[in-house]
Amino acid sequence: METEKTDFLIIGSGVAGLRAAVELAPHGEVLVVTKDVLRESSTEYAQGGVAVAMSDEDRVGIHFEDTLKAGDGLCREEAVRVLVEEGAQKILELIEWGAEFDRAGTKLDFTLEAAHSRRRVLHAHGDSTGKEIERVLINKVVSLKCVRKFPFAMTVDLVMRDGVCCGAYILKEGRMYQVLARATVLATGGGGQIFSRTTNPQVTTSDGMAIALRAGAVMEDMEFVQFHPTVLFAPAAPQFLLSEAMRGEGGLLRNIYGEPFMENYHPDAELAPRDVVSRAIISEMVRTESMYVCLDLTDLDARFVKKRFPRIYRTCLQYDIDITRDRIPVSPAAHYMMGGVKTDTFGRTSIAGLYAAGEVTCTGVHGANRLASNSLLEGLVFGAKAGQAAGETVSSIADPDELSATAFSEYGRIEDYEEIRTRLRRVMWDRVGIIRCAESLSAAREELSCFVQILKHQYRTREELEFKNMLQTAILVTEGAFLRRCSLGAHYRSDFPQKEGCYYHIEWRMDREGNLSSILA
């Protein structure tokens, strides 16, 4: 095994990881590890925008209240306050570094999205906001000579010594590396790939969550998974997200009979929170015995639609859907995980030397349901906070000779990998999806238990390591959903629809033998 040393190790290259790298650069050498090319992350695919209280009609306090309301009573107010108060500065930084956000004349152009009470969502090039933010951050990171990149590298596990994180084991081109660092920042994103329908790219297999869990980190609120209401549903088409902004600009949801239905489910209709809209769509699909509903923009000006949603327009056209003339078939898909590695507002985890930022974490900023377009802002704000805290680490790089030997000589093998991966994702979608109950969750627990032997082995391919991580996270999501016998935000139990008694957090920990334990906090 080869040993590499660096001052700071960042695992992940989305908005949170890259913003942490920028923050850490003045403090020493930074190594950014990513399992694909640098820009392949959920950030690259984020269309909806970035929410920030900077318009003349908006206030930080209003953004704060909207976030709390969407979080359904489970947000940590301290984390929300940090997000909304520090957000504007991070956006101005991006503009200074070359970000091109959409403007109305000389002013930034803010739009309205679901559950926002003001027009506060910034976009870039209509519907390519994440792509623009990623471009700017990559250019910034590339300009910093002290930041090295390590692409196409799979993080296997964390290097631990006496309960302290000293770096990570990295698999690259069939070779294992022990990368030692003063501090490690996890910024690996979420785990949408554990569901058969998801907006997330192939790389989002919950690696950071599983890695942290195995190292002994506290995980929190894993049952809260947000399902985006409007994802393209068409033969041969990808599971392509259709931005919240389409409804914010006046798009209507209709069932297969052409009837608008959202007013039957919520007074805010199309602009209701995502969890409400997703459940309404599922209910309408069941009622009409259909696989989808339709998003209708045909009453909007065609020139406006093409200019406002150029990427969506071009993509749908490839599948013979002209969004200016045709109703778009849509259904929900897994989109974002509110739960994750428990951190404070500086990204500090329960493990010394380990920091985390972005979707891999649970800061409490989203509560039980994330407010639309708060995730890119979260990555910017808390990526910087984690970088700031990690940069203040006074520990030295571990001596390889002082570390306990880790055996990577014996590897397991997962037979029929594609088949069981498909099976796991289908179980999670069918049994642990938008609407849950004891019967479905018990069935999921039983089916997932068939795979637990896989967790006892180490593997030498990216695909096998990803499946191990997906399984570990799927079990946590399922167990959390089973334990929480009530409904709150994105977690909905048809057998326990009440909110009363639901305002608590579920924390998880794994011991050295691989046994899970939970506490209510």
Q: What is the pLDDT of residue 410?
A: 72
Question: Is pLDDT at 408 greater than 80 in this prediction?
Answer: no
Closest CA to 158 of 101, 222, 217: 217
Q: What is the pLDDT of residue 129?
A: 95
Domain identity same for 14 and 161: yes
Question: Is pLDDT at 259 greater than 70 in this prediction?
Answer: yes
pLDDT (tens digit per residue) in 123-178: 999 889 999 999 999 999 999 999 999 999 999 999 999 999 999 999 999 999 99
User: What count of other Cβ atoms lies within 10 Å of the Cβ of residue 77?
Assistant: 14
Where do we find the tokens 């590890």? 33
pLDDT (tens digit per residue) in 383-404: 999 999 999 987 888 887 767 6
Q: Where do the DSSP E strands lie in 139-174?
A: 147-150, 153-161, 164-172
Q: How confident is the model at residue 48 (pLDDT cuts 50, 70, 90)?
A: confident
Q: How many residues in the chain?
A: 521
Domain identity same for 81 and 162: yes
Q: What is the pLDDT of residue 411?
A: 84
CATH assignment of the domain containing 51: 3.50.50.60
**293 — phi, psi (to 5°)?**
-120, -175
Contact 84, 64 (CB under 8 A): yes
Question: Which domain-ending residue is among 383, 400, 417?
Answer: 400
Question: Is pLDDT at 244 greater than 90 in this prediction?
Answer: no
Residue 484 is which amino acid?
R
pLDDT (tens digit per residue) in 208-241: 999 999 999 999 999 999 999 999 998 888 899 9
Helix (H, G, I), strand (E, B) or coil at 507: strand
Domain identity same for 40 and 187: yes
Domain identity same for 179 and 246: no
Domain count along the chain? 2
Contact 241, 44 (CB under 8 A): no
Closest CA to 223 of 513, 516, 493: 493
Angle at 515 between CA 512 and CA 521, to 5 degrees: 105
Instruction: Please count the CA atoms within 13 angstroms of the CA of 111 that sit on its side-chain side.
Output: 28
pTM of the model: 0.95
Task: Report the share of the chain in percent with pLDDT over 90.
Answer: 90
Domain identity same for 328 and 358: no
Domain identity same for 141 and 261: no
Q: Are strands 107-108 and 103-104 parallel, antiparallel or unpaired?
A: antiparallel
Q: How far apart (Å, rounded) are the C-alpha atoms in residues 82 and 424?
A: 37
Q: Is 475 inside a domain boundary?
A: no
Q: How far apart (Å, rounded) are the C-alpha atoms in residues 37 and 22?
A: 18
Q: How confident is the model at residue 407 (pLDDT cuts 50, 70, 90)?
A: low
**51 — phi, psi (to 5°)?**
-85, 130
Beta sheet of 121-122, edge-to-edge order: 50-51, 121-122, 110-111
**Residue 293 bridge partners (DSSP):** 330
Q: Where are the alpha helices (DSSP H) in 53-186?
A: 60-70, 77-96, 129-142
Domain identity same for 287 and 342: no
Q: How far apart (Å, rounded) are the C-alpha atoms in residues 216 and 211?
A: 9
Dihedral sign of CA atoms 141, 146, 152, 154 in order: negative
Question: Which domain-ending residue is among 332, 352, 384?
Answer: 332
Q: How confident is the model at residue 318 (pLDDT cuts 50, 70, 90)?
A: very high
Return the active site residues. 274
Q: Is 321 inside a domain boundary?
A: yes
Q: What is the pLDDT of residue 28?
A: 97
Q: What is the pLDDT of residue 400?
A: 76
Domain identity same for 40 and 137: yes
Q: What is the pLDDT of residue 236?
A: 86
Q: Is 508 inside a domain boundary?
A: no
Question: Is pLDDT at 367 greater than 70 in this prediction?
Answer: yes
Q: What is the pLDDT of residue 406?
A: 61
Domain identity same for 82 and 124: yes
Domain identity same for 75 and 138: yes
Residue-range definition of the domain harbouring residue 29 = 2-191+338-400
pLDDT (tens digit per residue) in 461-474: 999 999 999 999 99
Q: Is 242 inside a domain boundary?
A: yes
Tokens representing 104 are 């109305």
